[in-house]
Structure 1
Amino acid sequence: MAKSRHGKAPKTDKADTADGVAAQAKYAGEVQSTSANVDYSLRRRTLLRDVRSGRVDVAEACDASPYLLSASRFHGEESTRRCPICRRENLWLVHYIFGEELRASAGQARNRAELAVLAREYRHIDVYVVEVCRGCAWNHVVEYFAVGRADAEAAITTNVTPLAARRSLTASHGLARDISRPRRTGITQR
C-alpha cells in the first residue's frame, strides 16, 4: 500500500464504492460501453471537505433544482448510501442521457431499464449519473459513461480519445464537417 509523505497510509472513502456506484453499468445483449468511465469521487470529496471546513456554504452545495428532485422521484434509483450532508436520507441516483441521435430526448432522465433499451437502438449515448438527496437537496455528478450498439463504428475501444471518436462519427455517418481539421479548398497560396 502506498504511503503519504507523512508515512501514513492514505485514507479511502469506502462509501464511494460501497454500493458499486462507480462500477460500470452492465447490460445484456449487444450493448457495450463505448468509452471509459469517468468517476467524479475526487471532486465530490473535495467539495465535501470544503463544506465541512466552512469554505463552501451548505446552501451552495445543497442546491438541487426542482427538476432534479422530480427526476429522482420518477426515474431515480435508491442508493444504500446516506447523504453526506444531512445523514438522514439515502441518496437517489438519476441517469441523464445525451447524444446527437437522441434529438428531443437528449437531456432527459432515464432509469437503467430504459437505458438498456435505448443503448440497443442508438450507436452512442453519453450517460451522466447524478446523486441527489431529497431531504436537503445535496447533488453531485457521480459518474460518466457511454453506451451504444456493439456494431457502431465509432469509438468502441476505451483508448480512443474524444477527438478521434468525433472524427470517426463524422466520417462514418456523414454528419457536419469535422472542425478540428482545416477544410481543403483547392486554392493554393503562392
Structure 2
Amino acid sequence: MADSMAAAVGVQPEPASTVDYRLVRAHVLQRILCGTRMADDVCDAHPELVRAGREVGTPAGEPCPVCHGDELALVSYVFGPRLPAHGRCISYAAEIAKLARRKGRFTCYEVEVCPDCRWNHLLRSYVLQPR
C-alpha cells in the first residue's frame, strides 16, 4: 500500500493519534470472498469521493481489491479549525504540510477509492503535527 501523503512531505501523526483500519478492511474483503457479503454492499462511494479519487487522488500502487482495476487511489481529507464543515480534500502534497504548521488541531482521514467499481474504505486517521 502506498505511503501516506503526509509522510511524503514531512508531516507525521501526533504520537498515539493514528487509527489504522487495515484489519477492518481485511475482514470486509474476506467476507466478500466467502460470499457472506455482496460487493454491491461495499462499493457505494459517494460521487464526490469517486470524483476526488479520479481527479486529485494519489495512485495507491496496487489494484482494487474488489474489481482488480488499476485505478485505486488514495484521497486525504483534513478537518480542523477554520476549514469547511465538510473538511478539505487535499489536492497536492504540500498542502497537508501547510495545514500541519497552522495553529489548531487538524485531523487527516485517508480513504482508498476505486473510480471503476466505487469500492471505498477508510485506511487511517491521524492528527497532524510537523516533523
In 1, distance between residues paired with 2:56 and 2:71? 15
Out of 28, 40, 62, the residue aligned to residue 47 of structure 1 is 28
Equivalent residue, structure 2, for 1:34: 14
**Aligned equivalent of 2:2, options 19, 24, 27:** 19
Q: Contact conserved, 1:121 with 1:149, CA < 8 A, in 2?
A: no
Gaps of 5+ in 1: 1-17, 151-190
State the identity as a percent: 34
Paired residues, what number?
Answer: 129
Distance 2:28 2:120 in 1: 11
**Higher RCO by CA contacts (8 Å cutoff, separation 6 or greater):** 2
Partner of 2:69: 88
8 Å CA contact retained: 2:6, 2:12: no
Structure 2: gaps (5+ residues) = none
Q: Aligned pair 1:102/2:82, yes or no?
A: yes
- 1:142-186 deviation line (CA, Å, top 9, x unaligned): 111111358xxxxxxxxxxxxxxxxxxxxxxxxxxxxxxxxxxxx
TM-score, structure 1 length as denominator? Answer: 0.60
Structure with more of its chain in strand, by fraction:
2
What is the Cα deviation at residue 26 of structure 1?
5.0
Residue 122 of structure 1 deviates from its aligned partner by: 3.1
Across the aligned residues of Structure 1 and Structure 2, the Cα RMSD in angstroms comes to 2.3
Bigger radius of gyration: 1
Return closer, same or farther for 1:102/1:74 CA change in 2, 3 Å cut-off: farther
Matched, 1:56 2:26: no
